[in-house]
Amino acid sequence: MKKLLTILAASTMVISAPLSVVACKKTKTDIDNEFDYQALQQELRNSVQQIFDSNLKSDFDDYFFVDKKGGANGVEYPFGEKNDIEWFRSNQEEISKLNSPESKEVQESINKIINWNKVEDEINSLILTNINYKPILVSGKSPLKDGYYIQSLEVEEDLENKDIKVIISIGANFYYLNERQETQNDTLNNFKTSITILKELSADDLNKVKKDYQNALNTKENANSFVYKSDKGNLENNAQSINDKEEGKEIYSQIELILDTIDTNNGKIKFNNDFLINTNRDDIIKGSVSQTSSNWYWENGNFGNNEPSQTLKLALDGDAKAEDKFIKECSKNGSTWLRNSVKMHVKNIEELSAQYNDFAEVFNSFNLNSNLENTTFKKSLKNSNFKLELEDESDERNYIALFRANIEGIYFEYSGKKYELPTEQIVIKQLPFTNTIELYKKFIQNSFNFQKQMLGFNDDLIQENNPNYFFYLNKPNAWKTIEPTTPISATEGLEQLLEANPEATKYLVESDSSIDVFKYPSWDNGKSRWISFNENNDLYFYNSLLDTNYFFYLNTLFFSSGKMDKNDTLNFSLTFRTDFRILKVNESVSAWKLKD
């Protein structure tokens, strides 16, 4: 969709194709199912990576600064009596050769630091018991069945401080089943850390600075104070914005203020302010737990007879009062026009909504809390005081996403010498500028405007003779020279349809929303592989020319990245045309048409 960005110039919108995660084993493989497997494989990999990283960080944390007396919290010097700083200095080259006797000595010491049983315990409790992962687990066993290995060792000498830094890189093989149920493996990202052996300064002094820094980040007040304000739903883009020193300046400033609170030992300690925030874009918790379902429908080439359907008809015909009523009824809590099933996940959501009346049921802090339970995201916060405060009326109920971010490149100067601090993690909460009630109403309005424009209901000439309320889309220029019935990649074709409809696309910008066309009924994620049109300009979305007795619908999605699942992602649609089922691709009359 990158070409679309240039068309929209100043817009930051990305139209993405969300990937759905399924919990049932596939019996048929095609490109659509491959998308499912790829998404599930990536989610599994991200979860295992998080367990791997967080446990290894915890294991090595007390050894970040050591001297011959030991490290932090009473741990002993890890390399034995004879392997002192001089030994490391004289064996630098040999230690980097993993098969050398000197390197094997160091590796043996490192192995004693690692508590691999903790990793296996978390794999068992968070991965092997998760039914979603069963289709891609090899024989239902750990994806890290080989354990870990030391990828590399490097010894660096600080010529100024005379300290020695042992730089350690640890890897692991990652096993999973592909879409053909074949065993595949690759490697996790290496975990990297270091152990600094001090020549002159006391490890206790430097570990105190490190501990003060960690404690300052993890006070209950500070751990829960990082907030990113945005109304946009593209979580990957939001993560990138947080990293940016201008767009994320409030977070950066907040960290600087926290550094200012740390005891500087009468000015002897100075922290840098050119650190970086690196937000994890693969593991974001979103605040929706339920896809919405519409109570309007189509029959016999027209709208249904219930009030939602008839009001939608008037709204699409240009009746402003009907449109206002439609948007209001769809976006209100407890809507019977655009229903949600949040209470299946947050059982008392209706009572909470009535009690506070200041958040939208479809996305809020309570839903976030529900999504956070039993996740590797939450498990990785075990050393933090982070929690969603939801205990009294002063607590914020409108958070819509959670991000994990690393603070990287932090160092301090002590006695005229510079020392790097370990990477630490914070959690950032996304909060809309107003509240989720207003944000949801805005999303519904923009989604309605998009679909009305995209599907041709603002084209007065077309609507003068459209008794069946067919959907008319602008025909992309690239399609005007291809033969009818030619298969077009759905990913490329959807982008081309959006490019041909810039007046519709502008409505997606405010929320940075995404769209997709879903096929129904479907036993997989419903996403189409192909698009085609016939000589009558009927438009079709399909996976195979053998597809029959189905229909498809255009979905606008608020959350357009992060962990994606169309079953729990905030959405809006004019719904599927059950009155024009596709019995044969390229031959049946389609409710979707192309305008020349």
User: Which pLDDT tens digit goes with each residue over 6-46?
Assistant: 334 333 333 333 323 323 333 323 333 444 678 889 889 99
pLDDT of res. 522: 62
Predicted TM-score (pTM) above 0.85:
yes
Q: For residue 106, which of 166, 50, 169 has the smallest C-alpha distance?
A: 166
pLDDT of res. 268: 85
- Give the end of a domain, one of 382, 404, 433: 433
Beta-sheet strands, E only, within 398-502: 401-408, 411-414, 417-420, 424-431, 471-474, 488-489
Please state the φ and ψ torsions of residue 347, each to the nearest 5 degrees. Answer: -60, -30
Cβ atoms of 66 and 201 within 8 Å: the answer is no
Q: How far, in Å, CA of 124 to CA of 80, rounded?
A: 34
| Interacting residues of 250 by C-beta distance below 8 A, sequence separation 6+ | 227, 228, 229
pLDDT of res. 569: 75
What's the DSSP call for residue 188? P
Cβ atoms of 415 and 442 within 8 Å: the answer is no
Q: Do 170 and 128 reside in the same domain of the chain?
A: yes
Please state the φ and ψ torsions of residue 346, each to the nearest 5 degrees. Answer: -120, 95
Reduced to 3 states (helix: H, G, I; strand: E, B; else coil), residue 505 is helix
- Give the end of a domain, one of 433, 460, 479: 433
Task: Please report, in tens digits, the pLDDT of each residue of the chain (596 residues total).
Answer: 444 433 343 333 333 333 233 233 333 233 334 446 788 898 899 999 999 999 999 999 999 999 999 999 999 999 998 889 999 999 999 999 999 999 999 999 999 999 999 999 999 999 999 998 999 999 999 999 999 999 999 999 988 888 999 999 999 999 999 988 999 999 999 999 999 999 989 999 999 999 999 999 999 899 999 999 999 999 999 999 999 999 999 999 999 999 999 988 878 899 999 999 999 988 899 999 988 999 999 998 889 999 999 999 999 999 999 999 999 999 999 999 999 999 999 999 999 999 999 999 999 999 999 999 888 888 888 767 787 777 667 789 999 999 999 999 999 999 888 999 999 999 999 999 999 999 999 999 999 999 999 999 999 999 999 999 999 999 999 999 999 999 999 999 999 999 999 999 999 998 899 998 888 876 555 678 899 999 999 999 999 999 999 999 999 999 975 444 444 578 999 998 999 999 999 999 999 999 98
Q: For residue 236, which of 566, 559, 571 has the smallest C-alpha distance?
A: 559
Provide the β-strand partners of residue 531: 488, 541
pLDDT of res. 267: 83
pLDDT of res. 236: 92
Task: Give the count of beta carbons closer than 10 Å to the beta carbon of residue 314.
Answer: 16
User: Exposed, middle or buried: residue 227 (CB in 10 Å: 0-12, 13-18, 19+)?
Assistant: middle
How many domains does one find in the chain?
3
Q: How far, in Å, CA of 216 to CA of 189, rounded?
A: 29
Is residue 20 a part of any domain in this protein? no
Residue 114, token pair as written in the block: 């690692």
Q: Do 467 and 542 reside in the same domain of the chain?
A: yes
Q: Do 452 and 540 reside in the same domain of the chain?
A: yes
Q: Do 71 and 167 reside in the same domain of the chain?
A: yes
Beta-sheet strands, E only, within 457-550: 471-474, 488-489, 514-520, 530-533, 539-542
Q: Do 168 and 72 reside in the same domain of the chain?
A: yes
Task: Give the count of beta carbons closer than 10 Å to the beta carbon of residue 27.
Answer: 7
Reduced to 3 states (helix: H, G, I; strand: E, B; else coil), residue 76 is coil
Residue 18, token pair as written in the block: 């969300």
Amino acid at 209: V
Q: Do 184 and 237 reside in the same domain of the chain?
A: no
- Give Cα separations from 440 to 80, 144, 232, 544 (angstroms): 61, 42, 11, 36
Is residue 327 a part of any domain in this protein? no
Q: Do 268 and 408 reside in the same domain of the chain?
A: yes
- Give the end of a domain, one of 418, 433, 448: 433
Reduced to 3 states (helix: H, G, I; strand: E, B; else coil), residue 404 is strand
Q: Do 454 and 575 reside in the same domain of the chain?
A: yes
Q: Do 520 and 581 reside in the same domain of the chain?
A: yes
Is residue 4 a part of any domain in this protein? no
Q: Which helix (H) or strand (E) holds 93?
A: helix 92-96
Is residue 16 a part of any domain in this protein? no
Is residue 128 a part of any domain in this protein? yes
DSSP per position, 96-145: HSTTSHHHHHHHHHHHHH--HHHHHHHIIIIIIT-GGGGGGSGGG--TTT
Is residue 372 a part of any domain in this protein? yes
Show the 3-state SS of 199-258.
Answer: CCCCHHHHHHHHHHHHHHHCCHHHHCCCEEECCCCCHHHHHHHHHCCCCCHHHHHHHHHH
Q: How far, in Å, CA of 397 to CA of 390, rounded?
A: 7
Q: Which helix (H) or strand (E) holds 177?
A: strand 173-177
Q: Do 280 and 226 reside in the same domain of the chain?
A: yes
Amino acid at 409: G
pLDDT of res. 525: 53
pLDDT of res. 574: 93
Degrees, nearest 5: CA angle 52-57-62? 150
| Intra-chain end-to-end CA distance of the chain, in Å | 23
Is residue 156 a part of any domain in this protein? yes
| Interacting residues of 364 by C-beta distance below 8 A, sequence separation 6+ | 287, 397, 398, 399, 400, 436
Please state the φ and ψ torsions of residue 325, each to the nearest 5 degrees. Answer: -65, -40
Q: How far, in Å, CA of 258 to CA of 273, rounded?
A: 11
Q: Do 479 and 366 reside in the same domain of the chain?
A: no
Q: Do 453 and 589 reside in the same domain of the chain?
A: yes
pLDDT of res. 568: 54
Is residue 573 a part of any domain in this protein? yes
Cβ atoms of 147 and 120 within 8 Å: the answer is no
Starting at the edge strand found earlier in the chain, the sheet holding 65-66 runs 65-66, 191-197, 164-171, 149-157
Give the domain extent around 231: 203-291+357-433
